[in-house]
Amino acid sequence: MGEFLEGLNITVLGVTIVFLVLTILAIILYFVGWLERRLIERETRAAAKPAVVEAPKKTEGEEVREEKIPPRDLAIITAAILAYLAKKAEALRPLPFKRKVSDVWRLYGLQTSMEEVEDFNYEIGKW
């Protein structure tokens, strides 16, 4: 009876230690997740703040202009890019491929050849 109680004590001690270690690991992982969420929130807050861009200061007699691309030039640039991409796509034409013979026909051929061998053995009398 003493051996049984000693085994029971060791079992309870082992189970307690295992669950204690698992609890500690769960707490550590929860803390790591909490810390990661806090760091991500800080990064998003910093990224969400609009960057302050100072407008160029005007001096006397000087105007600040925004340079825009004229529609004609924009159309020419777009056409050139599309022509380049079309030429590049032409070089990458798909290769022809052969269709794979259906497995049904392959299996039918195997079955037929097996039946021929079977019939041949019956004719000879060697089964």
pLDDT at res. 32: 94
Q: Which of 34, 14, 10, 33 is nearest to 22 (CA)?
A: 14
Q: Which of 67, 45, 43, 64 is nearest to 54 (CA)?
A: 64
pLDDT at res. 33: 92
What are 76's two structure tokens? 């020419």
Mean pLDDT by 10 residues, the chain (127 residues): 91 96 96 92 79 60 70 91 82 68 74 70 56
pLDDT at res. 31: 95
**Rg of the chain in Å (alpha carbons):** 40
pTM recorded for the entire structure? 0.36
